[in-house]
Amino acid sequence: MCQPAHHTTSRRRAVLGLASIAAATLTRTTSAQADFALELRPPLRRQAAASRVKYGCAGAAPLFLDDGILLEKMAGEADIFVPEAHLKWQFTEPAPNLFDFAGPDSIVDFSARHDMIMHGHTLVWYAANPDWVTRLATATAARNALERHIGTLVERYRGKVWAWDAVNEPIEPKDGLEAGYRSSIWQRLLGNEHVDLAFRLARAADPATPLSLNEYGFEYSTAESRNRRRDILALLQNLRDRNTPVDCFGLQSHLVGHQSFDHKELTQFLRSVTALGYRLMITELDVNDAQIPGTLAERDQAVARHVEEYLDIVCAVAEPASMSTWGLSDRYTWLPQYFHRADGKPLRPLPLDRDFNRKPMWEVLAKLV
Ligand code: XIL
Calpha distance 137→344 (Å, rounded): 44
Q: How many domains does one find in the chain?
A: 2
Q: Write the pLDDT tens digit of every residue in 83-124.
A: 999 999 999 999 999 999 999 999 999 999 999 999 999 999
DSSP state of 342: T
Tell me which residue of 321, 169, 160 sits closest to 247, measured CA to CA.
321
For a ligand 1 pocket test, name from 334, 335, 339 the mutation site with the most ligand atoms within 8 angstroms of its C-beta.
Answer: 334
Q: Write the pLDDT tens digit of every residue in 143-187.
A: 999 999 999 999 999 999 999 999 999 999 999 999 999 999 999
Same domain, 217 and 353: yes
In the reported structure, the alpha carbon of residue 357 is separated from the centroid of ligand 1 by a whole-number distance in angstroms of: 24
Same domain, 50 and 32: no
DSSP-assigned states of every residue in 225-276 = HHHHHHHHHHHHHHHHHTT----EEEE--EEETTS-B-HHHHHHHHHHHHHT
Q: Which atom of ligand 1 is nearest to the CA of 337?
A: 7
The parent domain of residue 54 ranges over 44-368
Q: Which of 9-23, 36-50, 222-236, 313-327 has the lowest mean pLDDT?
A: 9-23
pLDDT score for 32: 37
Q: Are 231 and 171 in contact (CB under 8 A)?
A: yes
Same domain, 190 and 321: yes
Q: Which atom of ligand 1 is nearest to the CA of 168?
A: 13
Same domain, 213 and 324: yes
Same domain, 106 and 226: yes
Calpha distance 181→163 (Å, rounded): 24
The three-class DSSP label of residue 27 is helix
In the reported structure, the alpha carbon of residue 335 is separated from the centroid of ligand 1 by a whole-number distance in angstroms of: 9
In the reported structure, the alpha carbon of residue 3 is separated from the centroid of ligand 1 by a whole-number distance in angstroms of: 43
Same domain, 111 and 16: no
pTM: 0.91
Q: Count the residues in the chain.
A: 369
Task: Determine which residue's CA is closest to atom 13 belonging to ligand 1.
Answer: 168
- 37: pLDDT confidence band, cut at 50, 70 and 90? confident
Give the CATH number for residue 305.
3.20.20.80
- 17: pLDDT confidence band, cut at 50, 70 and 90? very low
Same domain, 31 and 143: no
DSSP state of 215: E
In the reported structure, the alpha carbon of residue 84 is separated from the centroid of ligand 1 by a whole-number distance in angstroms of: 7
Same domain, 228 and 106: yes
Same domain, 25 and 114: no
For a ligand 1 pocket test, name from 125, 284, 329, 335 the mutation site with the most ligand atoms within 8 angstroms of its C-beta.
Answer: 284
Task: Determine which residue's CA is closest to atom 5 belonging to ligand 1.
Answer: 334
Same domain, 153 and 282: yes
Same domain, 315 and 176: yes
In the reported structure, the alpha carbon of residue 9 is separated from the centroid of ligand 1 by a whole-number distance in angstroms of: 36
Task: Determine which residue's CA is closest to atom 4 belonging to ligand 1.
Answer: 334
Which residues contact ligand 1 via a Cβ below 6 A?
A: 84, 168, 252, 284, 334, 337
Same domain, 100 and 6: no
